[in-house]
Structure 1
Amino acid sequence: MELQQLRYVVAVAETNSFTRAAERCLVVQSALSHQIAKLERELGARLFERTSRRVRLTPAGAAFLPAARQCLEAAERAAAEVAAAVGEVRGRLAVGLIPTVAAVDIPGALRDFRRRYPRVRVNLGVGASDDLVEQVREGTVDVAFLGLPTTAHPRGVAVRELARDRLVAVVAPDHPLAGRPVVTLRRLATEVFADMPAGTAGRAQSDLAFAAAGLTRDVAFEVTTADYLARLVAPGLAVAMLPSAYVPQLPHDVVTVEVSDAPARVEYVIWSRATRTPAAAAFLDVLGIAAEDVETVEEGQPTDRG
């Protein structure tokens, strides 16, 4: 079994095509097909079902794929560790972030990182805080930027708190609240809201605050990105609540209003202490974070702060 064979299997599984997989791997299709057939003979099982219309994994192929990916990732990490030992940082850096991250200038940090470490490939993904914590624990994301309610804390990862912030109301320019200097949660509870999906950390920040005040609200629109929240607010479809530090990134066709009893959130950067790659350590260094001087909250420990 060779690493190149594993790369071919992963490419076919991800493209559902021998032709596209060969193009991705920069080989002729006959060579790719030959190597996969050779691997199937060695394993004693077919990995793909091939018809004139489609290619899909067999049950054996579905069982084989996760291990194949792990082997390729381990080989890549080994090469990166060797390079780091001789003073060169290379490999892959997977960065995850929430849509409303504001405590760090991510594009600026990545610009500085690429200037110092041009041989590192950077994968950037946007997701929900809870999902990003799980991805860091699993090793599919190296460094992630989160926003959580003040009562929550990432578990099972290395953690550095970046900033604390309060939410503000976001309304249309012609909304009755647009001219007010401040508003209360009770007044906002009479409005129709756009917010992040139920169950996400971004949504929990507002839900917990309204619940603590004994209030309910109508969340008529659920979206996954802050920019689309603003697009729903601008024509007057709804109001929203977003971190005040994110306000400079909002379009100019919305207005923000301070909330007297606003919920708060904490922004964190997290990473895996156990599987930190040279690229991840280098990125943390660019951010000015000492990887060793952090808090690690293990699974099973309390998540409430203070």
Structure 2
Amino acid sequence: MELQQLRYVVAVAETRNFTRAAEHCRVVQSALSHQIAGLERELGARLFERTSRRVRLTPAGEAFLPVARECLEAADRARAEVAAASGEIRGQLAVGAIHTMAAVNLPVALRDYRRRHPRVHITLTSAGSEDLIERVRRGAVDVAFLGLPPRKEPKGVQSRRLGAGELVAVVASDYHRTEHEVDLRSLADEPFIDFRAGAAGRAQSDEAFAAAGVRREVPFEVSSADFMVDLVRQGLGVGMLPAAFAPRFSDLHIIRLRDAPTRVEHLIWDNRPSPAATAFLELISTDHAEGVSHLSHAVRETFSA
């Protein structure tokens, strides 16, 4: 059994097509088919069912695929470890982040990382905090930035607190509310635009309203901050955003909250980070983590005028 055979199996499984898999692997189709047939003879089982219209995994193929992926990942990890021992960082780095991250300027951090380690292939995905935690646990993402309520910690991963900051209310510039500072109780009768119930991006707001003894209505549930802002701009209700993030939308009116919800941002990673992930964590630690004091300062700056 050879690594190249495993790569061919994974490519066919992902494309569901021998021709496209061969193109992806940059080999002729006959060579790819020959290698897979040889592997099937060695294993004593067919991995794919082939018809004139489609290709699909057999039960044996379904069982073999995740192990093949693990072997390929282990081989890539071994090459990366050897390169790192020689002073060169290579391999892959999968980064995840919530939409409203404020503690780190991620685009700048990714730029600096790529300049230092040009042989690392970087990917970035945006998702909710719970989804990112699960992806890091599974190894689908190497490092991720997320936000959680103050009393909640990410479980099953390594983590570091980056900073804590308050949330603010945001409304359209022509909305009927013009105050610059209120308490949550005064917003009880307003319609809210927020993330789905149970999501980490919603939890801190729900907890703060409950602590204030206020019941609010959330008729508009969204999956991203940008969608929330779009609805706020139309005057459909009140949004809730981190104070260090809200000033990006200069056309919105920001209302500071005396009993504001608080969110803590975390950086998380796998228990055994790859050399590429370790280098990224070191970069964030030394050059890009702005910390609790920065977020608190950002909140003060937002309302200093």
TM-score normalised by length of structure 2: 0.89
Answer yes or no: is 1:288 the counterpart of 2:275.
no
Answer yes or no: is 1:171 the counterpart of 2:171.
yes
Write out per-residue CA displacement over residues 85-139 of structure 1, whole angstroms, 9 at most, x where no aligned residue. Answer: 1111000111111111110000100111110100001111111212222222332
Structure 1 letter corresponding to 2:157: V
Distance 2:248 2:18 in 1: 43
The aligned residue for residue 61 of structure 1 is 61
The aligned residue for residue 96 of structure 1 is 96
The aligned residue for residue 279 of structure 1 is 276
Structure 1 letter corresponding to 2:248: Q
Distance 1:253 1:75 in 2: 51
Answer yes or no: is 1:262 the counterpart of 2:260.
yes
* Cα displacement (A) at 1:234: 0.7
Aligned residues: 287
Distance 1:165 1:27 in 2: 53
Q: State how 1:226-241 maps to structure 2 within 5 Å.
A: 226-241=225-240
Distance 1:172 1:53 in 2: 54
The aligned residue for residue 152 of structure 1 is 152
Write out per-residue CA displacement over residues 202-257 of structure 1, whole angstroms, 9 at most, x where no aligned residue. Answer: 1111111122223222222222211111111111223210101112333x332221
The aligned residue for residue 201 of structure 2 is 202
TM-score normalised by length of structure 1: 0.88
The aligned residue for residue 116 of structure 1 is 116
> Which runs of no fewer than 5 residues in structure 2 stay unpaired?
288-305
RMSD between aligned alpha carbons?
1.7
Segment drifting more, 37-46 vs 259-268: 37-46
Distance 1:190 1:132 in 2: 34
Structure 2 letter corresponding to 1:239: V
More helix by share: 2
In structure 2, the CA distance between the partners of 1:216 and 1:13, relative to structure 1 (3 Å rule), is farther
Distance 1:268 1:289 in 2: 16
Write out per-residue CA displacement over residues 160-202 of structure 1, whole angstroms, 9 at most, x where no aligned residue. Answer: 211110001111111112x211122223232222222222211
In structure 2, the CA distance between the partners of 1:255 and 1:50, relative to structure 1 (3 Å rule), is farther
> 8 Å contact 2:83–2:90 — kept in the other structure?
yes
In structure 2, the CA distance between the partners of 1:61 and 1:223, relative to structure 1 (3 Å rule), is farther
> Which runs of no fewer than 5 residues in structure 1 stay unpaired?
291-306
In structure 2, the CA distance between the partners of 1:6 and 1:170, relative to structure 1 (3 Å rule), is same
Structure 1 letter corresponding to 2:276: A
* Cα displacement (A) at 1:74: 0.6
The DSSP-based 3-state class of the residue aligned with 2:285 is: coil
* Cα displacement (A) at 1:148: 0.5
Distance 2:199 2:42 in 1: 45
The aligned residue for residue 253 of structure 1 is 251
Answer yes or no: is 1:105 the counterpart of 2:113.
no
Distance 1:47 1:248 in 2: 54
* Cα displacement (A) at 1:289: 4.8
> 8 Å contact 1:142–1:271 — kept in the other structure?
yes
Answer yes or no: is 1:191 the counterpart of 2:190.
yes
> 8 Å contact 1:139–1:275 — kept in the other structure?
no
Q: State how 1:15-94 maps to structure 2 within 5 Å.
A: 15-94=15-94
Distance 2:218 2:145 in 1: 26
Distance 1:40 1:238 in 2: 60
> 8 Å contact 2:180–2:254 — kept in the other structure?
no
Distance 1:193 1:59 in 2: 49
